Amino acid sequence: MNILASHSSNGGVSAPRSRHLEAIREAGKADRAALTEAIQAFVEYIDGNGEGASRPDLAYVNMTRTIYAPFGLNVKAREAKEIPDDSRDTFSATELSFLQVAERTAAEVILAGIAASWTRAEIKARVKEMAEQFAVQLDALRKLRGGAR
């Protein structure tokens, strides 16, 4: 159970809280769409070294895995922490917001890297670093609130 989530007296998520979480999740869809478009641009990008996507069919999976892993949204982390497959449903509004900003920022990093002619490896490394930094900040907030995921 996520201790950061707001619960009603009957143990479930309160109706206003549920609507708030749903609104955050809906807003996140636009950010994931922007991320998808940025990943598609990354697939088509050939860097200054002449390097292109070696497995375009895995680009989305690999990039999202890089972003989500620090948040515990990869298979190994979910299994280790016994989090269900649809772990976004276990996230509080704050956690979803952190993830949403990470997705939006990753899209911007990818597009900025392409515009600046970074190598593909540099773009990947900067996306990974950014996601890890957001996850560290979220973990720090969780500790302040007395809980951990």
Compute φ and ψ for 51, nearest 5 degrees: -90, 130
Give the total number of structural domains in the chain: 1
CA 133, 147, 143: angle at the middle one, nearest 5? 45
Residue 84: what pLDDT?
59
Q: Is 108 a member of any domain?
A: yes
Compute φ and ψ for 133, nearest 5 degrees: -65, -45
Residue 80: what pLDDT?
66
pTM of structure: 0.78
Q: Is 10 a member of any domain?
A: no
Q: Is 9 a member of any domain?
A: no
- How distant, in Å, are the alpha carbons of 2, 99, 126, 137, 139 from that of 133? 21, 11, 10, 6, 10
CA distance 112 to 115: 5
Q: What is the pLDDT of residues 52-98, one digit of tens each?
A: 999 999 999 999 999 988 987 776 666 666 665 556 667 778 888 89
Q: Is 1 a member of any domain?
A: no
pLDDT mean over 123-141: 95
Domain containing 90 equals 15-144
Q: Is 94 a member of any domain?
A: yes
Q: What is the pLDDT of residues 13-42, one digit of tens each?
A: 456 667 877 877 787 788 899 999 999 999
